[in-house]
Amino acid sequence: MTAVPVHAADQKTATEAAAVPRIAPNAVQFRLENGLDVVVIPDRRAPVVTHMIWYRVGAADEVTGQSGIAHFLEHLMFKGTTAHPDGAFSERISEIGGEENAFTSADYTAYFQRVAKEHLGEMMAFEADRMTNLVLSDAVVIPERDVVLEERRQRIENDPGSLLSEALSATLYKNHPYGRPVIGWQHEISALDRRTALDFYNRYYTPNNALLVVAGDVGPDEVRALAEKTYGRITARPEAVRAPRPAEPPMVGPHTLTVRDEKVREPTLQRAFITPSSTTADSGGAEALSVLADIIGGGSTSRFYDGLVRGKGLATYAGAYYQSSGVDATRFVIYGVPKPGISLTDLEAEMERVIADLVENGVNEEELERAKSSVVAQAIYSQDSQQSLARIVGSALTNGSSLDKVQSWPERIQAVTAEQVSQAAAEFLKPEKSVTGYLKPIVKKAEQDGKS
């Protein structure tokens, strides 16, 4: 975006010479004797700490037929222990003016609190207690299952877009458990029970399968001392390691699926391609895919915006994203909403054409540099929130990545070449290896052309 044209090779040398910022540069990692990994990210801006415990287990580790158990257990972790009965932990957090939450993905389950720094040890004591002493009775399990079923009803069953995304994942992943919704299939959630939850808990919730991330106004020595007094007392179960997941067979051709619903206001399409994740990719692969997503559909300077929204006026919006984090192969997604009067088919053909053009003619240095700056900027900005930084680190490490890879992300993005970007597009964005989902309004009888 400099006004003076710079020769590409020169610019690259200049970039490499410049001090590329690192993410969480002062983060420190160590491991307790019982196998608990710890990352401390000092952040002295306020006397606050974010305390997160991450388990290397998620929906993709569930036994077939028990979908939703990882997420259900996340709910049940709030149900208390002998020392701290149902609600005691949350009440205490509220009492000291803190915040808490939890989240489950296909690859991890995490719990966190944000509190004033002097309460860190207490949070660790609570969290260590429920890592190993969870008490579950049918009296709490059964009503909580109804809560989860209601959550699914509201978030998925009542939302055609979510139903489409869920079916799209299940079509994209025919064998790998990423095809399964994290919240679980409704009929399988209904059958989850106390025993299943406790088995899952007993197998996976142990220090050697966990990661402690503490970000905030605290140093590594202090965190280590507190962690040893709490988590450090728990005995490890060395066998608590998740099994490798079944791999995908090759995709034999393009797939489509269509959801029509009266709640849909405007037609949309999304197309997904399976790609390596930052854990499974060859060196530079995830970085090239990240830059590619930005070039194709990352904002108002992207090719989709330029060609489809502004240019030909086919789309209200069109974009792309690459899901880099995952233990196993993840996805690259393009999506678009046609302008009124434009068909999904026409928009889709034009999106395909934009990608084919990129594959054939490559990317130019100007858009490459702009995309790299944008991807780096997003990473840099994400550090602004203590919680988001802790999440980036926790998610990466439970996905099989390393602290160094998180830290060096900006410099690895800077190293991406134009050739890597067009190669990634050629290798992974093949129409014949895609699943395309269409969300359509229900057309009234008179307007229909006879096909449903």
Residues marked active site are found at 74
Supply the minimum distance, in Å, between the C-beta of residue 21 and a copy of itself: 41
- Span near a copy of itself by CB under 8 A; candidates 16-24, 173-181, 264-272, 333-341: 173-181
Among 254, 263, 382, 419, binds a copy of itself (CB under 8 A): 254
- Span near a copy of itself by CB under 8 A; candidates 51-59, 71-79, 179-187, 379-387: 179-187
Residues 64-83, interacting with a copy of itself (CB under 8 A): 64-65, 67
Among the listed residues 45, 30, 201, the one whose alpha carbon sits nearest the alpha carbon of residue 111:
201
Supply the minimum distance, in Å, between the C-beta of residue 102 and a copy of itself: 25
Among the listed residues 77, 61, 260, the one whose alpha carbon sits nearest the alpha carbon of residue 180:
61
Q: Using the 8-state DSSP alphabet, how is residue 81 labeled?
A: B
Residue 164 interacting with a copy of itself (CB under 8 A): yes
Residue 193 and residue 207: Cα distance in Å, rounded? 24
Residue 236 interacting with a copy of itself (CB under 8 A): no
Residue 262 interacting with a copy of itself (CB under 8 A): no
Supply the minimum distance, in Å, between the C-beta of residue 211 and a copy of itself: 25
**Cα four-point dihedral sign 146, 151, 157, 158:** positive
Among 28, 125, 163, 264, binds a copy of itself (CB under 8 A): 163
Among 20, 28, 102, 167, binds a copy of itself (CB under 8 A): 167
Binding mask 414-443 for a copy of itself (x = CB under 8 A): -----------------xx-----------
Structure tokens belonging to residue 159: 């939302």
Burial of residue 358, with CB atoms counted within 10 A of its CB: 0-12 exposed, 13-18 middle, 19 or more buried:
buried
Residue 279 and residue 173: Cα distance in Å, rounded? 18
Residue 239 and residue 234: Cα distance in Å, rounded? 15
Q: Tell me if 316 sits within 8 A of 338, measured CB to CB.
A: yes
Identity of the residue numbered 193: D
Residues 6+ apart with CB under 8 A from 293: 320, 321, 322, 332
- Span near a copy of itself by CB under 8 A; candidates 102-110, 130-138, 159-167, 400-408: 159-167
Residues 340-369, interacting with a copy of itself (CB under 8 A): 349, 352-353
Burial of residue 385, with CB atoms counted within 10 A of its CB: 0-12 exposed, 13-18 middle, 19 or more buried:
middle
CB closer to a copy of itself out of 2 and 452: 452
Identity of the residue numbered 10: D
Residue 161 interacting with a copy of itself (CB under 8 A): no
Q: Using the 8-state DSSP alphabet, how is residue 153 labeled?
A: I
Q: Tell me if 337 sits within 8 A of 315, measured CB to CB.
A: yes
Structure tokens belonging to residue 103: 């989240």
Structure tokens belonging to residue 296: 């194709």
Residue 177 interacting with a copy of itself (CB under 8 A): yes
Residue 26 and residue 53: Cα distance in Å, rounded? 20
Residue 370 interacting with a copy of itself (CB under 8 A): no
Supply the minimum distance, in Å, between the C-beta of residue 243 and a copy of itself: 8
Structure tokens belonging to residue 134: 């969870």
- Span near a copy of itself by CB under 8 A; candidates 51-59, 219-227, 247-255, 379-387: 247-255
Count of residues engaged in binding a copy of itself, rule: CB under 8 A: 43
Residue 253 interacting with a copy of itself (CB under 8 A): yes
Among 249, 282, 340, 384, binds a copy of itself (CB under 8 A): 249
CB closer to a copy of itself out of 173 and 205: 173
Q: Which residues form the interface with a copy of itself (CB under 8 A)?
A: 64-65, 67, 160, 163-164, 166-167, 170-171, 174-175, 177, 179-180, 185-188, 243-247, 249, 251-260, 349, 352-353, 431-432, 450-452
